[in-house]
Structure 1
Amino acid sequence: MQGFINLDKQFGWTSHDCVARLRKLLRLKRVGHAGTLDPAATGVLPVAVGKATRLLQYLPTDKAYQATIRFGVQTTTDDLQGEVITSEVCGGLSLAEVTEALSKFTGKIEQIPPIYSAIQIDGKRLYDLARRGETIEVPSRTVEIFSVEVLAWREGDFPELDVAIACGSGTYIRAIARDLGAVLNTGGTLAALRRTHSSGFNLTDSLTVENLESQLQAGEFQPISADAALQHLPSVTLPDISAKRWCQGQRIDLGLEIIGKVRVYQQENDFLGVGELQEGVLIPQMVFEPIS
């Protein structure tokens, strides 16, 4: 078996938990995921099985989320899973103030990742250092926020905002909640997070672990084809002789003006792998289905 699974991750599971569960269900060792989700987050977790794990690096990196931000609260983890640092009623906060502050969070912005995150510094995970009580200076990074849309606003002592966020890779929604609260001088933390899109996969087409288990028991499960997840890449189709040479690691001069990664086919539906076009020459990057 090889291909992709568009998994709807449930609350409380780590991404590693999901992979371990799928390994047992599918009876496969080669299972991997793209785009880690925190245990408290739910939604789209792209999973590759079999040889498709080698294609994870070529998936698109854009993501989208629906998030709930709670104002008046700051925590150690920038979400409700951490210890509360401050908690102050801010019932006077208005949606107009929040909307104005949100305008600072689109485009390319500098963001300091949460201390409790999987980022490595000197080969050590930040969350491991934080749990040991070590003082850590986390460097900022440039991330890109494509859009932020207000979905709902709930007034109260600790008002909450629901937003839809489309962003590039490496963006921490927890950090947006924290920083938005800082801009408003109220404090803010992430109260809920659901990923609606990741690496080309959408929540509307996703499967829960229970859905997957039912399909497997009924003999109805079919993974998403390996190349279906790579539709953001242009494609080239090679004649039989050139296809065999390419699968053997040879470069093929196609004279095309396309530059960059491409899907490679022998015939219209015979996916061979991923190549890179440089000055009209097709260079093998990952041969998925070699021709004998």
Structure 2
Amino acid sequence: MARRGKKKGRPVSGWLVFDKPVGMGSTEAVSKIKWLFQAEKAGHAGTLDPLASGMLPIALGEATKTVPYVQDGAKVYRFTVAWGEERSTDDLEGPVTKTSDKRPGEAEIRALLPNYTGVIMQTPPQFSAIKIAGERAYDLAREGETVDIPAREVEIGRLELIETTPEGNSIFEIECGKGTYVRSLARDLGRDLGCYGHIATLRRTEVFPFTADDLVPLDALEAAAPKREEAAPEGGRPFAAQGERFVALDAFLLDTGEALDCLPQVAITDDAAAKLRLGNPIILRGRDAPVQADEACATARGKLVAIGEIEAGMFKPKRVFAG
């Protein structure tokens, strides 16, 4: 029987709310953070294009189990639309495909914005990760194919015109749900205004439940990280025994449970936590204990223990977390 390979890296867990710089891809960002923290496991909650900057929540260790809850959270973007040109990628990266001499006025733009709030139908960009017959749309687009991407429902809670730049570009702020493409929004606004448009700058400022106050830039992480010769195991000394070398870096991590503000919280005892971690259900006691919930999380001493269902006053674990 084959032996399981030994895990590489530290068993560190938590959320890093990374301030991704322009030019870095989301996968590259995850690899960089995993390397800096020497983490066993890492993943992100919502792709940001290389030309976009801002909030990229990255989960380490046990926090990767909570990624779907952050992916589903509302997002806030600040972006600039350059009028007069439509581009193949709907941002600065692609070649110009259509041009116009018209430039929209603020009143004209504001009058159009109500059409782009609420639940709307939106067609994703040709250069997107949408799968068409099993292939990514951006792969087909790079091969010169024009693909028919069906429109889909997205929800936009707020869309505001913030200001007009001296160059005549428009700066907007949007709060939107999962699956919204800001590049598509710039394209569609330009077409409706009869002047064409594309994204010139894009920054994600919030991903619920995280806020701008949680953002950590790359230079701060690099300054706090131990030197490579200090971060590597010496003489077989495991990563787990080197926690003191990562204290400054680990201080940037938010607790795994921070991602679950959207769920009801149930405080339990240490004994009940031990049962849940073994996969066993527990009875919730106390006058204020919830009786029914499709999904909730149990905590002990403020630490996340499990996500599960509450039925008839019994908490049934679906996903458990190490203590």
TM-score when normalising by structure 2: 0.83
User: In the alignment, is the contact (CA less than 8 A) between 2:276 and 2:306 conserved in 1?
Assistant: no
Q: Give the Cα separation in 2 of the matches to 1:282 and 1:212.
A: 39
Per-residue CA deviation, residues 187-239 of structure 1 (Å, 9 max, x unaligned), is 11111100000142222321111111112248422211111222222111223
Query: How far 1:153 moved relative to its partner?
Result: 1.2
Per-residue CA deviation, residues 153-211 of structure 1 (Å, 9 max, x unaligned), is 1365xx31101100001000001100111111111111110000014222232111111
Write out aligned runs for 1:247-286 (5 A).
Answer: 247-254=277-284, 256-265=290-299, 267-286=300-319
1:220 corresponds in structure 2 to: 248
- Aligned to 1:244, what secondary structure does the other structure show? helix
Write out aligned runs for 1:160-179 (5 A).
Answer: 160-179=169-188
User: In the alignment, is the contact (CA less than 8 A) between 2:62 and 2:322 conserved in 1?
Assistant: no
1:64 corresponds in structure 2 to: 76
Q: Which runs of 5+ in 1 are unaligned?
A: none
Q: Give the Cα separation in 1 of the matches to 2:311 and 2:133.
A: 35
2:90 corresponds in structure 1 to: 78
Structure possessing the higher radius of gyration over alpha carbons:
2
Letter in 1 for 2:296: V
2:42 corresponds in structure 1 to: 31
Q: Which runs of 5+ in 2 are unaligned?
A: 1-11, 227-245
Q: Give the Cα separation in 2 of the matches to 1:26 and 1:243.
A: 28
Q: Give the Cα separation in 2 of the matches to 1:148 and 1:258.
A: 36
User: In the alignment, is the contact (CA less than 8 A) between 1:259 and 1:279 conserved in 2?
Assistant: no
2:198 corresponds in structure 1 to: 189
Query: How far 1:22 moved relative to its partner?
Result: 1.3
Structure 1 position 89 matched with structure 2 position 122: no
1:141 corresponds in structure 2 to: 152
Per-residue CA deviation, residues 40-85 of structure 1 (Å, 9 max, x unaligned), is 0000000011121122123252100001011111000111111100
Bigger RCO of structures 1 and 2 (CA < 8 A, at least 6 apart): 1
Paired-residue identity, %:
36
1:205 corresponds in structure 2 to: 214
- Aligned to 1:192, what secondary structure does the other structure show? strand
- Which among 254, 263, 266 is matched to residue 236 of structure 1? 266
Query: How far 1:283 moved relative to its partner?
Result: 2.0
Letter in 2 for 1:211: A
Letter in 1 for 2:302: N
- Aligned to 1:201, what secondary structure does the other structure show? coil
Letter in 1 for 2:182: I
Letter in 1 for 2:298: V
TM-score when normalising by structure 1: 0.92
Letter in 2 for 1:189: H
Query: How far 1:121 moved relative to its partner?
Result: 2.1
Cα 1:74–1:279 change in 2 (3 A) is farther
Query: How far 1:125 moved relative to its partner?
Result: 0.9
